[in-house]
Structure 1
Amino acid sequence: MGIFPGIILIFLRVKFATAAVIVNMRVHRISGLEARAMEKIKSNRERAEKSRKREHQKSATVSHEMSGLNWKPFVYGGLASIVAEFGTFPVDLTKTRLQVQGQSIDVRFKEIKYRGMFHALFRIYKEEGVLALYSGIAPALLRQASYGTIKIGIYQSLKRLFVERLEDETLLINMICGVVSGVISSTIANPTDVLKIRMQAQGSLFQGSMIGSFIDIYQQEGTRGLWRGVVPTAQRAAIVVGVELPVYDITKKHLILSGMMGDTILTHFVSSFTCGLAGALASNPVDVVRTRMMNQRAIVGHVDVYKGTLDGILKMWKHEGFFALYKGFWPNWLRLGPWNIIFFITYEQLKRLQI
């Protein structure tokens, strides 16, 4: 073999070897790119799967929370209201008797029989028996089953529409929610309130069953009779609920955030006692007028003594003096205080049930 063919052969071998190296490098490069691409695709798939799971969990959580908002406050609010009403009903009865007595216009209730809450409790027990202290308990419990259920359910649901977190709640937002829920719930439950007050005012003289009494009121006074006093009732509920529930929530919130107390029964006790006092001070004048308006009857030839809340307040102030607007204040407060304490402690314990 000559020198040139040898050189050519060496050149070809080098060229083929170089080409093989280049091809091999390109293959490895392509394989590396493919591997990285596959890893990226896999990573993206994993992230997408994790994101999907998070969204699913979030959706499930929101659904669970909304489910709780839809029924738990309603049920727990109704149950706690019934427990509180039964425990404080005799005090509520004395408040009604004190508020309807001493009317200079309505001669049926002109006599002042009771000098105060304890005197009223003792005299009612002595003259009418222990069962008279629970006269009107059936419509009262029925009222709380409707009024208390709707009130708390609407209040809690409205708050969640405005703010998602409890920490973001403000006094103004809570007051608006309280006023709205108070007006709606009291308007719906008004017929039970009318019957309760009439049974309390007459005591053992009241005749008939609860259902029969509803029918009698409707037949004698019409639908208007069942919703007699609905305006002052709604006004009182707007004041009471618009004050009590926000004061409770804000007091509880600040006690916990300040580190003074935890989310304990003692915190619930202090918060409920405070809101009960605030509610009694704000609502008593309207409550007196409401009680007297509901106790009026539609009789032929008889003109209603009080035509409205403002009319009632002005007439009472004129004929009986300013302090007549705070008749029954002590039993009102002594009822609202224990009532709220029993209610909120019961409600808070029900909230902790794992349902």
Structure 2
Amino acid sequence: MFDCLRKIVKNEGFSRLYRGISAPILMEAPKRATKFAANDSWGAFYRNLFGAEKQTQSLAILTGATAGATESFVVVPFELVKIRLQDRASAGKYNGMLDVVKKIVAAEGPLAMYNGLESTLWRHILWNSGYFGCIFQVRAQLPAVEPGNKSQQTRNDLIAGTIGGTAGTILNTPMDVVKSRIQNTSKVPGQVPKYNWAWPAVGTVMKEEGFAALYKGFLPKVLRLGPGGGILLVVFTGVMDFFRNMRGE
């Protein structure tokens, strides 16, 4: 990770570290909103469907997986633009986010903006099922929060969210690797791309490069999404409490 950082700065300049930042900045708000809104909505749906009064471990995993699938439809176009901008081979090919969209649509058609949808679905299904499944289990193991004790609530959410984010990252990194390869491959009429569908692409990477290749980039990813999962849950809980108090709920 540090060798990569050093070589990028040395050979391409410090600004290269932030190339493609506009897409993830625009993506974060709708992505996170969809994640938690879908998780709440699907949770209510599944509890009603299975006649469960309260959330269970299995329902938490199922709800998270379905929320991840829902979230994917928001994420894919932004991820595609980010991947194309950040790839070293594409340096100089695109002049910004809108230029990426224009050139992809012109060369590959409007539906190309959803290249990698299947692999993104798997990536988010695995991450969210691990994340929300772990949150449910870890919260159950932690000391109960005293009513109105914000520091205890923050502690529990930070621990549960961090463990959930780490578990989700372990589960979904192989799909993240193949998703990036699928989205970074331009569609050529009459040719079948080397990386086309998620699970066959996993098999191709393992066959040609070994199992470890499926976890390339794992360290920086888990350093981002482990603690990030904790912060995400703390902020979400705090903001929801704020709005509930404001509305008198």
Question: TM-score range, shorter-chain basis?
Answer: 0.7 to 0.9
Report what 2:4 is aligned to. Answer: 120
Hey, what's the Cα distance between the residues in 2 that align with 1:200 and 1:306? 18
Report what 1:321 is aligned to. Answer: 210
Give 1:264 deviation, angstroms: 2.6
Give 1:191 deviation, angstroms: 0.8
Letter in structure 2 aligned against 1:125: V
User: Retained in 2: the 8 A contact 1:313–1:325?
Assistant: yes
Hey, what's the Cα distance between the residues in 1 that align with 2:159 and 2:175? 26
Report what 2:66 is aligned to. Answer: 180
Hey, what's the Cα distance between the residues in 2 that align with 1:208 and 1:302? 27
User: Retained in 2: the 8 A contact 1:182–1:242?
Assistant: yes
User: Retained in 1: the 8 A contact 2:46–2:63?
Assistant: no
Report what 1:38 is aligned to. Answer: none
Partner deviation per Cα, 1:263-318 (whole Å, 9 max, x = no partner): 43221221122112211111111111111101111246764111211221111111
Letter in structure 1 aligned against 2:83: I
TM-score, normalised to structure 1, is: 0.61
Partner deviation per Cα, 1:111-133 (whole Å, 9 max, x = no partner): xxxxxx11112222232233221
Hey, what's the Cα distance between the residues in 2 that align with 1:335 and 1:182? 18
Report what 1:151 is aligned to. Answer: 35
Report what 2:160 is aligned to. Answer: 271
Hey, what's the Cα distance between the residues in 1 that align with 2:70 and 2:122? 11
Hey, what's the Cα distance between the residues in 2 that align with 1:294 and 1:206? 16
Hey, what's the Cα distance between the residues in 2 that align with 1:267 and 1:281? 21
Q: Percent identity?
A: 26
For structure 2, which runs of at least 5 residues remain unmatched after alignment? none
Hey, what's the Cα distance between the residues in 1 that align with 2:30 and 2:93? 24
SS of aligned partner of 1:207: coil
SS of aligned partner of 1:352: helix
Hey, what's the Cα distance between the residues in 1 that align with 2:157 and 2:144? 14
For structure 1, which runs of at least 5 residues remain unmatched after alignment? 1-116
Match of 1:343 among 205, 226, 232: 232
TM-score, normalised to structure 2, is: 0.85
Q: CA distance change for structure 1 residues 162 and 228 in 2, over 3 Å: closer, same or farther? A: closer
User: Retained in 2: the 8 A contact 1:132–1:204?
Assistant: no
Report what 1:189 is aligned to. Answer: 75
The size of the alignment, in residue pairs, is 237
Report what 1:235 is aligned to. Answer: 122
Q: CA distance change for structure 1 residues 352 and 222 in 2, over 3 Å: closer, same or farther? A: same
Partner deviation per Cα, 1:66-111 (whole Å, 9 max, x = no partner): xxxxxxxxxxxxxxxxxxxxxxxxxxxxxxxxxxxxxxxxxxxxxx
Aligned pairs for 1:291-310 within 5 A: 291-299=180-188, 303-310=192-199
Report what 1:131 is aligned to. Answer: 15
Give 1:200 deviation, angstroms: 1.6
Letter in structure 2 aligned against 1:249: F
User: Retained in 2: the 8 A contact 1:182–1:234?
Assistant: yes
SS of aligned partner of 1:175: helix
Match of 1:225 among 112, 119, 138: 112
SS of aligned partner of 2:195: coil
Report what 2:173 is aligned to. Answer: 284
Give 1:162 deviation, angstroms: 4.2
Cα RMSD of the aligned pairs, angstroms, is 2.5
Report what 1:43 is aligned to. Answer: none
